[in-house]
Structure 1
Amino acid sequence: MTDTTSTPATRSTSQHFVSREPWDPYVADKLTPEQEKYYMAGQWKLMWWRFRRHRPAVISAAFLALMYLSIVICEWIAPYDLHTRHAKYIFAPPQGVHLFHDGKFMGPFVYGLKIGRDMDTLQRVYQPDHSQPQKLRFFCSGERYEFWGLVEGTFHFVCPPENGSFFLLGTDRLGRDMLSRIVYAARISLTIGIIGIVLSFTLALVLGGLAGYYGGWVDLVVQRVTEILKSFPHLPLWLALSAALPVTWSPLLIYFGITLILALLDWPSLGRAVRSKLLSLREEDYALAAQMMGAKPARIIGRHLLPGFMSHLIASATLSIPSMILAETALSFLGLGLRPPITSWGVLLNEATDINVVAVNWWLMFPVVPVILVILAYQFMGDGMRDAADPYA
């Protein structure tokens, strides 16, 4: 007869095995909420998370956003109109903004300018008149303007004092306020890069996409055109094409002509990147499946192939914008780009080509400051976007 009595140790062991839950093979691989959020995120969200960790790129993007916001409301920011002349204040130096006068707080104000004459050089000499503090006006009614050439207005963020002057960055040879001209010139210099990259981006996607998808003679023709364009030195070609623009054209046609020239010479590098990527992606299973289902080439390229590396293209396009801004600035500086009455940063720098003028009136070089800041901001933001678009980051 078998003894069914069990010892306490045996009973506890048997109860332990009986009460134990079945082993779940997925318990060890269960994701935390943070991990699940990461692994379920889309491509653009991952790019945004990586981009946010690049502090210089984020700061640069914020700076560029402010710059492009300023071109929308430049009439409100500029204290004077673009073409307003102050014949009394030719080559006036920058006026500093002060807060205290004789130890008392007065708020933002400037000192008036006393005008004299250097009898040795016969040049005007300006001295601040410390006996006449002139308070600045904010959110005020000032010079009349046409907002974007459509609506008349007089509102300004800052206005010169009553019966006084306010030249924060000095004036030029005609007595025009340099700050106002730099603010207005940003509208031209910044938009020419955006419009140019849109045209260049479109050409690169169309021609590079056709060459990469079809191959054969289409690829051969596009590649030869690309090599011919890249074989020419860019600066002499820019100069030749810009000089060929008729002088009888209106300023608006000159603007779009320069933009088109920059776009036509910039697309080959981006087009090659599109072509090489499509050559590899067109053999993927999803592309072949779409082709077998009867999808047209335009749909396959636009809906299946291009989105796979669009992040890389956007980063590359961001790095191309500063080259267009620099190209326009260089052409206008040499007198072969935009011409007055259109005002860009390059046009303003063209007025500072005389070394004697610059040595005496150094504030004429101020337009180079926004050019440097914008180029650096685009470079930092482009580096951040390129790192964020890297799938192996």
Structure 2
Amino acid sequence: MPTGVHTHAVKIPSRAESCYSVRVGSGLLGELVPELRAGGNASRLFVVTDSNVQRAGHLATLVDATALSSFVIEPAGEAAKTLRTVEAIVSVLERERYGRDTMIIALGGGVVGDVAGFAAAIFKRGVPCVQVPTTTVAQADSAIGGKVGVDSELSKNAYGAFSHPAAVYIDVATLATLDDRHYRAGLVESVKHAFIADASYLDYLEAHLDEVLARDSAALTELALRNCAIKGDVVFRDPEEANLRRVLNFGHTIGHAVESASGYALHHGEAVAIGMVGACRIGERLGVTAPAVARRATALLEHLGMPLCLPPEISNDLLLDLMTRDKKARGGTPRFVLIEAIGRVHCPDGLYAVKVPADVLAATLGDLRGR
């Protein structure tokens, strides 16, 4: 050791494990602000939402009697999931002199939850965020788990953080105003949960899908509870996606690539549906996935009205390039989550995301083009 240089170990306490409540019910929105204020966790509340939620009347339900400040993302949609939107939110917070006593309420779908959650994670080095998902995809998946982020010009979720919400409020009544295409596409994440973790949940979805499509409150509450249990268990065991949590990406390697390549003309769930069928085909070719798995996946996704073939205008070269940028990729090689049986994910050598031979992937993309 050079003369005059001393080493001193500074011990920093590890982050306390994040625990938060998830409330599920119908009509929770009107009770939210008084409940948060009574909790005393923040002196100033700030709402981030989008124009779709505003038009549906949910923002008014939340803030009319409380005079909360809000930021409305306009236009709504994946194109707003950028650093520019996050910067705009932070600018408003700074202009209105919000500080570390701020709590951000993310009222909306997956884009709102990601953007608001990421803004909360970086504003003043982190302020609490309450997730209030109003879409099927957000209620099933993105609002729970603490992953927030925005897209770059090249890939989805290129900028992000692990930042758990202070609480999650799932009000199934908000789904009544969601348009049919978004509603159906978001249900794909529920199907995904059943395939990776719970055969009985898949049985429930197959038996009660008509009630779910009719937006029956009891059926939607059951879905929310099952989704929370499945995702909550996975996140608890692997909060920062070291390995196990990758099972939640079943269908997402191809799915994210298709979604990006379409310019987000395809909704997330629509693209993931194609990706799930693709993952089943890969598994069949490798002798990993039982043929019955793909048959049940295809039947249920068709019942939801999901596309199951690749758009003809999207080239394989573009998809392969995008897959090499996927967050599961290692050394520029994409990784896939494969299913052995309903409720059981393939895990060779203890790994839940695996490499796939190039010829198998190419043949599978051919399958997804109907040839």
TM over 0.5: no
Q: TM-score range by the shorter chain?
A: under 0.3
Bigger share in helix: 1
The two structures have a TM-score, normalised by structure 1, of 0.19
Of structures 1 and 2, the one with the larger relative CO (CA 8 A, separation 6+) is: 1
Q: Which structure is larger by alpha-carbon Rg, 1 or 2?
A: 1
The two structures have a TM-score, normalised by structure 2, of 0.20
